[in-house]
Structure 1
Amino acid sequence: MATPLNQTVADSALLGGSLPLGLLRPYLQGQDDADGIGPGLMAELKMLARQPSLLVACNYGGTLTPVDGQTTETLPLGSAAVALRAIAALPNTYAAVISGRSLRDLAAISRLPAEIHLVGSHGHEFDMAFAYSMPRATDGVLQLAGNTFMERLTARLGEGPGERLVTDRGLAFERKPAAFAVHRREADPDAAEAATSLAREIAAAYGLFFIEDGTVLDLSALPPAKGAALDRLRAQLGVSAALFAGDASSDEDALATLRGPDLGLHIGLRETTARHQLRDPEAFARVLAVLFELRRAWLFGEEAVALERHSMLGDGSSTALVTPDGKICWMTHPLPDSGSLFAHVLGGDPAGHFSVGPLVASRLLGQRYVDNTMIVETRWADVAVTDYLEPSPEGITQLVRVLTGTGPARIVFAPRPDYAGAPCAIEARGDSLHVVGTSEPIVLHAPGVRFAIEGDGRHATATGHADLAHGPVVLTLRCGDPEAHEPDPAEEPARRAAVALAARAWVRSLDIPAVKPSLVVRSALTLRHLVHEPTGAVLAAPTTSLPEGIGGTRNWDYRYCWLRDASLTVMALVELGSTDEADGFLAWLGRILATAPGPEWLHPLYSVTGAPLSTEASIEHLPGYAGSRPVRIGNAADHQVQLDVFGPVAQLIDVLSERTRELPDEHWRLLVQMAAAVSARWHEPDHGIWEARRAPRHHVYTKTMCWVTLDRALRVARRHGRTADDGWEPLAAVVRSEVLAEGWDDGAHAFTVAYNSPDLDAAVLHVGLSGLIDPLDPRFLATVAAVERELRVGPTVFRYTYDDGLPGLEGGFHLCTAWLIEAFLAVGRVDDAEELFARLVALMGPTGLLPEEYDPSTETHLGNHPQAYSHLGFIRCARLLDEVHRRGR
């Protein structure tokens, strides 16, 4: 067994690959085997593998290798040692060997690399300087004790003048920095017994500590300190959990320090305080191999489903994501920013999921939205599932999953409340599964399905089978229903038809452009279901922490209402002919302003309830999408100054009043407040549209939006006969003049991100798109050319390329691509607009959804999904291109 494991780890694991599943599958499934990796140990390994930072430490001889080794002996690198090296190569994962041997000999014999921490002398020797730190008196005592031991042992084993030398009896001796050691591995039984007895006597006589470490006896000037060494390593490395494995009595000192999620292993059959015992180092090698694979999967994610291939469900209050193979991989309750019930997209199976599919592996045929609805169908060769969120009373989330087909289906219900951080159980009661231990009632109604429920000590998973040959199976998950109503499966077709009818009626009310009409409808439905109908607030996206760079730290929580994003979202719907969403959002904003100290003190974003956000925090036990950490909840941008947000609100009121030909008093009051906020603070620096986490600057986009606020207020006043403030017009002229004078950079030959900066930013396209200058002005033409030249890469446009104070990189931004398309149209470059629009269309996912960003180098979609910005930008481009076509170019 050692050779295959050596080879697979050395050739695969240490190079960043994974161990062969055939080798690991029995352990990953929790089966007992001869090496003792049963379900209990497997469950603990799974929990240990998901710790934010992990230390794996062990003894050397008898644990990491089958034998101790003599001072000058070089041992072959065993399977456990290779697996330990693989573990040490993982991020946020550390390995150590704490041995009774001297540090010099430990390093020479083990040949372990520098990434593995070595501690010698039973936990005392962390570096070579230890050898020179012993007092001379201590050295003298050890020398005297060693000489006495040798003399008395020779006499005890001697047979007169022809006595055999002690070393001929298989004993070996060694001076360590703080001990005199006797090696008994090769000794005959009589010699080993005599050496052990005498060593105890000599240690007591000279005030030394007698330490028995496997086949080695130490007469030590210092007590065993493997526990203290383990604690020191934990503190030094800042780990959140540790595994320690040992075979000797001295290892019990380290095992005694373990706590919480820590795991202790004893190698061999002697009595121990460790919870688990393994037969030999080869069994320990298998445990390390399993731990490596579990942790690698947790750190880097299970094979991640491409973001754009996820489909969104929505009912106007709740949202969920479903993968192409029918797995509900993301859902929160009761609010968009509440803890998740399923977070598979951020942590794989341990983070929770609700999966359906054929019992026997079957070819996946595809996934689609039912025309003009948010109902999703996923089909295999002999099984199909239809998913939708059914509108329910406020506070109740109702997910309906209808299974049809000719073959047997498998259902896995694995709720993991609060980002998999809260324990829960599942109880079967009749035809329902009740999640126990949550603050909200959660019940899965599944008539005709019988489930087997298994738990791992913190969470439960229910697995069931359904024979679809007898008819459809209706699964209804209700969250937040205190009455625990049991829906009648016979009524499901009518309920689904009502959901579809309402969606199609709304779509028929829209003015859909002739350019890509089906994709415009899908984008419009997506935006509508990012509106939280109970409050009127609008989500930027329904997800958190989907990365802007795989493996990077630019992972943000977008489940909130940004004033800017929300205004642009509902404005896109207004331009298609739907105004209810805009009315609801403006009413929500009015309630925010009613309790704000003044309009100029609006936050950039709020929760859907209107409350300020809690402190941004990280969920350390989730690995993130494709291993991209941290998983964040909350958003620190809540505390930033973003003075551009007043412009999109003013634009919305302008477009809405033009569309409806009405201006309610409350909308005029909002517009007056936006203009007042600009009058009070337009001259200040801010953090800008992109929320850079650096010092505020005078951003050109922000100043442009301040001008937009005043310009649209004046326009609305003229259109509807309202009285404009006398200061608005002259102030608008001042702001415009400053933007033109300070925003232009001669070196860049373009408008740039901020005053006195040469850096380009796609957002400055709004200098021309907003009407602040004529789009045919040479300065705008030059800016469009500069953005195309410097920020466009293939089918995408980056926001900027300057240092924004954050580590890592990001992809191109779909909204910026839409802005460049709009700019092309504004300056008359219709063919270029058509070409870039076609490339944007080609990036859409198979069900018509777009995340936030796209990396052209890896052809990977990035960012939260689906993103309101991406879809509202797409809708605007389709509308503008349609207008061009109608005019005959």
Structure 2
Amino acid sequence: MPTPLNQSVADSALLMNSLPLGLLRTFVRPHEDHGITPELMADLRILSRVPGLLVACNYGGTLCAAEGVSTETLPLDSAAVALRALAALPNTHAAIISGRSLRDLAAVSRLPAEVHLVGSHGVEFDMGYAYNLSLATETLLQQVATALTEAVAYEKGVSIVRKPVGVAVHTRPATPEVVERVIFKSRQIAVEYGLYFIIDGTVLDLTVEEPAKGQALDALRQRLGVSAALFAGDAESDEKALATLRGPDLGLHVGSGMTTAGHTIPDPEAFARVLALLFELRRSWLFGEDAVGLERHSMIANGTSTALLTPDAKVCWMSHPLPDSGSLFAHILGGDPAGHFSIEPVKPSPVLAQRYLDNTMVVETRWADVTVTDYLEPAPEGITSLVRVLSGTGTARVTFAPRPDYATAPFNMEIRDHEVHVVGTSDPIILVAPGVDFTITNDSRHATATAEVQLQSGPVVLNLRCGDTESLPTDLDGEPGRRAAVVQSSREWVTSLQLPTIKTSLVRRSALVLKSLVHEPTGAVLAAPTTSLPEGIGGTRNWDYRYCWLRDGAMTVNALVSLGSTAEADGFLRWLGGILENAPGPEWLHPLYSVTGAPLSTEAIVESLPGYAGSRPVRIGNAADHQVQLDVFGPIAELIHDLGERRGYLPDGHWYLMEQMAHAVIARWHEPDHGIWEARRPPRHHVYSKVMCWVTLDRALRAAVLHGRAAHADWSSTAETIRAEVLREGWDSSAASYTVAYDSPDLDAAVLHIGLSGLLEVNDQRFLDTVAAVERELRVGPTVFRYRYDDGLPGLEGGFHICTTWLIEAYLAVGRLDDALELFNQLVALFGPTGLLPEEYDPGTETHLGNHPQAYSHLGFIRCAQLLDRYLASADVE
């Protein structure tokens, strides 16, 4: 079976798989009285999500039933397995800090080297410690051992054991009366010889060193570089370690007695369950819960908001009020703790189907006796309205678990009539649910509302309203009419499109996706509705795409123009015009903006979220905002040209924008930049960027001729200068291809545009060689990689769907119809079950990757279907 894990994650997974982990899951059973309170559970969840974790504990009485001198004191099997499993996790360490000598501790515990051992109450870190004691100390300890032997060794159940820094009196088999006498006499001897006296469970220690479990815990923290620790103990000496805990640290006391620990659990068996539970929570945070394939997620949208659904109707991603605002549900990036809105049948059954209602963004998920219909209805800007209609003959279970602001914002819930109010958030969040009786539970940090809904009497409507208290629907009987209006509006728009005859249904779905990524109040266009869905599972190439790239936005609305829908292009160009009004000049445009037109805030990391399938970090914002990307002017100029050509006229405002794009190119085309792929390295003279600079001037010149506008005097000469330089400097003889940048042999799929743009004739041998090189070096099965060179970022990535579509287009341009059809059909096979595509595909692991759904992927697919349609139509005519 293919695995989505990259090698580093796989190595850790193999190590853990060597352990009997199935055993761990049996130690914590629902509804069992095992001392794990809701408060402890909440603290364990928090602790499990810290970047670096140390799990430390005492030995006797904590990991095993009692202290003693025999091998009967092996740790509980369950505790040993859990401790080993924790030590095998990345950025997770395990340690035992015991009163035993280090040699005895190592022999009796039989734990692997991954578990750090510290003996003699925190003093003995290595086996050589005992050999460094002075002769005077050795003599003193021998005298103490003799005194103890004479004073208490005759007592039944008492034994004397020498340690490297002390002498121990073991009393486990002795009666309480004997223990009382032995403690009294041993303490007297300790005072007489000037030693420290420690009662550690059933062991009495007389030692030359002061107990240092607290110092030992701090030393381990510093050595291992952890950010939080758990410490568990049962003895008085463990209190010194518990006293050092701070912040997100967690202290556990095992057994009875007074303690400063935050939680008390009854016995070592309960501690073993805590360790097993902590392992499961941390493993889930590090590697992600069983991740649903990205391509299997469906999107709903209404022109202002978007949300993602899993195949079983779980709302796993939604932000409010803007696309780049904090999430309300982020299950896709962090599992249940990150927030979700789930509906499922009470009677377990598999999902029979999930589909879009024809020509809409309304999703229907169906089980045997429950059906859920989901859509986002139109709402004023700043308001999100999610409607979920439950129908069928069975009983549905509803779980409403919002977790605002990436699960970092505190909140509470209240039930008012048949409304669930989320309390304490900056915007009102209300779930309107007439006839549904919710129960609210709280884990001391987050609240969750649950209900079971009988559907035999008719459909039940749930309406989640965010940012709105004035127009809450009190009577949801009108829902069918509201849904019908949403459906009719969508279908009327689809009917207006001019669709190709090839894969018409997928083109139609792709067009709906592109329209859904248009933020109608502003005209901006999202590259994707999500953040940090990884380009490599377990890797760090996780970016926030909830913004409007000038390039992506122009290409998206131009794809819709090609299908006959122009309103989105008008909105985008208005949005761009507003940005230019506030820019110091067109040449200083940023590559991307918030949908509001504002520059982005600093890129940040949400440490509390583990990421999709454990792929961290989760990023908010995008540092590419500060890059120089000179190619962005080309797609804008092409959009203005194509829109004017389709309509037969060019408004003054659009011509002004064309002039601004040309001005930007004249001012900066000769500079190096960061390129289309936003490499986080020093700028270079990227061939694709230069080609797009040429495209800007070429389309401006064409538009001037087409619409009788006056071209600027320097446009033509500069365009020719750029073209000549690109053809000369962009070619690399060793690669026999145009390459990513001047003076570089590295291939880049984007250089296919040297022919696709018209800069170079497609029958020129240099373009034919470039197509062959990209095919040879970058195509792997059904996908094409952007490049293979080192871009300065760790980890790997998949092939990019838009690069695949460029190669299909290049095949057609050079007359290779069979190759184009073969690759096109392979791309079609990668679509998800509801017709959506993420950004990338890894052919090695057969894993879909990247933010989802991706505008690039769908606009590239539309263009290929159109080109194939025209190509085949012209072939039929001939």
Q: Same fold (TM over 0.5)?
A: yes
Equivalences for residues 429-828 of structure 1 within 5 A: 429-483=416-470, 485-828=472-815
Separation in 1 of the partners of 2:844 and 2:779?
12
In the TM superposition, what whole-angstrom CA distance separates every residue of 1:623-676 from its partner, at most 9, and x where no partner exists?
111111111111111111111111111111111111112222221221112111
Q: 1:608 to 1:827 in 2, by over 3 A?
A: same
Separation in 2 of the partners of 1:836 and 1:169?
81
Q: 1:501 to 1:190 in 2, by over 3 A?
A: closer
Whether the 8 Å contact between 1:432 and 1:445 is mirrored in structure 2 is: yes
Amino acid at match of 1:56: V
Match of 1:309 among 284, 287, 296: 296
Whether the 8 Å contact between 1:62 and 1:247 is mirrored in structure 2 is: yes
Amino acid at match of 1:170: V
Whether the 8 Å contact between 2:157 and 2:171 is mirrored in structure 1 is: no
The equivalent of 2:26 in structure 1 is: 23
Whether the 8 Å contact between 1:326 and 1:385 is mirrored in structure 2 is: yes
Q: Does 1:153 align with 2:111?
A: no
Give SS of 2:456's match. helix
In the TM superposition, what whole-angstrom CA distance separates every residue of 1:296-352 from its partner, at most 9, and x where no partner exists?
222222211111111100000000011111111100000000000011111111111
The equivalent of 1:174 in structure 2 is: 162
Q: Does 1:82 align with 2:81?
A: yes
CA RMSD of aligned residues (A): 2.2
Give SS of 1:330's match. strand
Whether the 8 Å contact between 1:32 and 1:39 is mirrored in structure 2 is: no
Whether the 8 Å contact between 2:67 and 2:73 is mirrored in structure 1 is: no
Match of 2:853 among 866, 869, 875: 866
The equivalent of 2:10 in structure 1 is: none
Whether the 8 Å contact between 1:170 and 1:184 is mirrored in structure 2 is: yes
Whether the 8 Å contact between 1:663 and 1:720 is mirrored in structure 2 is: yes
Amino acid at match of 2:162: E
The equivalent of 2:6 in structure 1 is: none
Whether the 8 Å contact between 2:16 and 2:89 is mirrored in structure 1 is: no
Whether the 8 Å contact between 2:144 and 2:167 is mirrored in structure 1 is: no
Q: Using the TM superposition, give the Cα deviation of residue 99 of structure 1 relative to its aligned residue in structure 2, in angstroms.
A: 1.5
Tell me which moved more, 814-823 or 802-811: 802-811
The equivalent of 1:366 in structure 2 is: 353
The equivalent of 1:6 in structure 2 is: none
Separation in 2 of the partners of 1:168 and 1:453?
58
Q: 1:169 to 1:351 in 2, by over 3 A?
A: closer
Tell me which moved more, 265-274 or 86-95: 265-274
Separation in 2 of the partners of 1:760 and 1:11?
35
Give SS of 1:364's match. coil
Give SS of 1:887's match. helix
Q: Does 1:233 align with 2:220?
A: yes
Whether the 8 Å contact between 1:153 and 1:195 is mirrored in structure 2 is: no
Whether the 8 Å contact between 2:730 and 2:739 is mirrored in structure 1 is: yes
Amino acid at match of 2:116: H
Separation in 2 of the partners of 1:471 and 1:482?
27
Separation in 1 of the partners of 2:27 and 2:828?
43
Q: Using the TM superposition, give the Cα deviation of residue 75 of structure 1 relative to its aligned residue in structure 2, in angstroms.
A: 4.1
In the TM superposition, what whole-angstrom CA distance separates every residue of 1:717-742 from its partner, at most 9, and x where no partner exists?
12122222211111111111111111
Whether the 8 Å contact between 1:435 and 1:443 is mirrored in structure 2 is: yes
Separation in 2 of the partners of 1:848 and 1:862?
16
Q: Using the TM superposition, give the Cα deviation of residue 246 of structure 1 relative to its aligned residue in structure 2, in angstroms.
A: 0.7
Give SS of 2:538's match. coil
Whether the 8 Å contact between 1:69 and 1:75 is mirrored in structure 2 is: no
Q: 1:544 to 1:24 in 2, by over 3 A?
A: farther
Q: Using the TM superposition, give the Cα deviation of residue 680 of structure 1 relative to its aligned residue in structure 2, in angstroms.
A: 1.6
Equivalences for residues 134-533 of structure 1 within 5 A: 136=134, 140=136, 142-157=137-152, 170-176=158-164, 178-185=165-172, 192-483=179-470, 485-533=472-520
Q: 1:133 to 1:690 in 2, by over 3 A?
A: farther
Give SS of 1:19's match. helix
Count of residue pairs brought into register by the alignment: 865
Tell me which moved more, 90-99 or 470-479: 90-99
* Structure 2 gaps, min length 5: 1-12
Q: 1:173 to 1:21 in 2, by over 3 A?
A: closer
The equivalent of 2:96 in structure 1 is: 97
Whether the 8 Å contact between 2:24 and 2:78 is mirrored in structure 1 is: no
Q: Using the TM superposition, give the Cα deviation of residue 459 of structure 1 relative to its aligned residue in structure 2, in angstroms.
A: 0.9
In the TM superposition, what whole-angstrom CA distance separates every residue of 1:206-249 from its partner, at most 9, and x where no partner exists?
44322222233333333222122223323333333321111111
The equivalent of 2:40 in structure 1 is: 41
Q: Using the TM superposition, give the Cα deviation of residue 250 of structure 1 relative to its aligned residue in structure 2, in angstroms.
A: 0.4
Separation in 2 of the partners of 1:154 and 1:570?
91
Separation in 1 of the partners of 2:425 and 2:720?
58
In the TM superposition, what whole-angstrom CA distance separates every residue of 1:816-865 from its partner, at most 9, and x where no partner exists?
01000000010011111111111111111111100000111121111100
Q: Using the TM superposition, give the Cα deviation of residue 184 of structure 1 relative to its aligned residue in structure 2, in angstroms.
A: 3.4
Q: Using the TM superposition, give the Cα deviation of residue 11 of structure 1 relative to its aligned residue in structure 2, in angstroms.
A: 11
Separation in 2 of the partners of 1:478 and 1:206?
75
Amino acid at match of 1:146: L
Whether the 8 Å contact between 2:732 and 2:744 is mirrored in structure 1 is: yes
Amino acid at match of 1:174: R
Separation in 2 of the partners of 1:429 and 1:316?
30
Separation in 1 of the partners of 2:851 and 2:92?
28
Tell me which moved more, 264-273 or 735-744: 264-273
Whether the 8 Å contact between 1:153 and 1:194 is mirrored in structure 2 is: no
Whether the 8 Å contact between 1:208 and 1:220 is mirrored in structure 2 is: yes
Whether the 8 Å contact between 1:398 and 1:476 is mirrored in structure 2 is: yes
Q: 1:764 to 1:473 in 2, by over 3 A?
A: same
Tell me which moved more, 462-471 or 770-779: 462-471
Give SS of 1:86's match. helix
Q: Using the TM superposition, give the Cα deviation of residue 104 of structure 1 relative to its aligned residue in structure 2, in angstroms.
A: 3.6
The equivalent of 2:828 in structure 1 is: 841
Residue identity (%): 69
Separation in 2 of the partners of 1:498 and 1:88?
57
Q: Using the TM superposition, give the Cα deviation of residue 407 of structure 1 relative to its aligned residue in structure 2, in angstroms.
A: 1.2
Q: 1:502 to 1:155 in 2, by over 3 A?
A: closer
Q: Using the TM superposition, give the Cα deviation of residue 487 of structure 1 relative to its aligned residue in structure 2, in angstroms.
A: 4.3
Separation in 2 of the partners of 1:317 and 1:61?
60
Separation in 1 of the partners of 2:765 and 2:61?
79
Separation in 2 of the partners of 1:196 and 1:55?
34
Whether the 8 Å contact between 2:148 and 2:160 is mirrored in structure 1 is: no
Whether the 8 Å contact between 1:548 and 1:811 is mirrored in structure 2 is: yes
Separation in 1 of the partners of 2:736 and 2:641?
32
In the TM superposition, what whole-angstrom CA distance separates every residue of 1:22-51 from its partner, at most 9, and x where no partner exists?
72562xx4x242x32343333332332233
Whether the 8 Å contact between 2:63 and 2:75 is mirrored in structure 1 is: no
In the TM superposition, what whole-angstrom CA distance separates every residue of 1:459-480 from its partner, at most 9, and x where no partner exists?
1111112111111111111000
Give SS of 1:401's match. strand
Q: Using the TM superposition, give the Cα deviation of residue 570 of structure 1 relative to its aligned residue in structure 2, in angstroms.
A: 0.6
The equivalent of 2:67 in structure 1 is: 68
